[in-house]
């Protein structure tokens, strides 16, 4: 059974407990997400069924990292502020962010939908990246924190 988490390293094993019924399941982090504000983990359908979360779709949960999981290095996070198909648009945002926060950069990303240009600020320690993401969201920019080493 698998799950998506924004920052935990891939292959990390976590125990997810549904706080409404005290049922728990062990899952492996294999993807990034969720990118919905206020959500901390996305479970596979099999894992969601295990803790009876399928009907409501969401639940209050506790996530415990199981022993042996890697501890992320402190400087390996960035704030993604946008992904664009046109490089000049990405470059404009990158320049604006660099003038305010320093080390903003563009990363090329090839997907099935074509080439995208991700605009990110970092690397930073996790608390600093989370604070910057909140600040930029208050300025009506859509952001999320990403780990850089996987």
Closest by Cα among 128, 18, 117, 43 to 79: 128
70: in domain: no
Mean pLDDT of 106-119: 90
- One domain for residues 40 and 98: no
> How much is the pLDDT for 75?
61
Q: 27 is in which domain, residue-wise? A: 2-65
Instruction: Write down the mean pLDDT value for the chain.
Output: 89
From 16, 36, 65, give the residue that closes a domain. 65
Closest by Cα among 121, 120, 145, 122 to 134: 145
Assign 10 a pLDDT band (cuts: 50, 70, 90): confident
125: in domain: yes
The count of domains in the chain is 2
Mean pLDDT of 117-136: 92
From 19, 38, 65, give the residue that closes a domain. 65
From 65, 100, 116, give the residue that closes a domain. 65
The answer to whether residues 52 and 15 touch, using CB atoms and an 8 Å cutoff, is no
The answer to whether residues 106 and 86 touch, using CB atoms and an 8 Å cutoff, is no
Q: What is the CATH number of the domain that holds 43?
A: 2.40.40.10
> How much is the pLDDT for 38?
83
32: in domain: yes
Q: What is the CATH number of the domain that holds 136?
A: 3.30.70.1070
Kind plus residue range of the DSSP H or E element containing 119: strand 114-124
140: left (phi over 0), alpha (psi -120 to 50) or beta: left
Q: Is 97's pLDDT higher than 90?
A: yes
Q: Is 58's pLDDT higher than 60?
A: yes
- One domain for residues 143 and 81: yes
The answer to whether residues 10 and 40 touch, using CB atoms and an 8 Å cutoff, is no
- One domain for residues 137 and 87: yes
> How much is the pLDDT for 69?
53
Q: Is 83's pLDDT higher than 90?
A: yes
> How much is the pLDDT for 66?
87
72: in domain: no
> How much is the pLDDT for 89?
96
């Amino acid at each position: 059974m698998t799950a998506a988490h924004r920052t935990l390293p891939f292959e990390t094993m976590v125990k997810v407990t549904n706080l409404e019924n005290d049922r728990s399941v062990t899952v492996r982090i294999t993807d990034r997400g969720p990118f919905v504000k206020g959500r901390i983990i996305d479970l596979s359908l099999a894992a969601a069924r295990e803790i009876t979360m399928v009907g409501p779709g969401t639940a209050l949960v506790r996530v415990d990292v199981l022993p042996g999981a890697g501890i992320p290095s402190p400087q390996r996070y960035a704030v993604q502020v946008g992904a664009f198909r046109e490089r000049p648009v990405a470059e404009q945002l990158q320049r604006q962010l660099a003038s305010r926060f320093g080390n903003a950069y563009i990363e090329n990303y090839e997907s099935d939908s074509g080439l995208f240009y991700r605009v990110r600020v970092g690397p930073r320690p996790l608390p600093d990246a989370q604070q910057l993401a909140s600040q930029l969201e208050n300025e009506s920019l859509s952001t999320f924190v990403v780990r850089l080493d996987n």
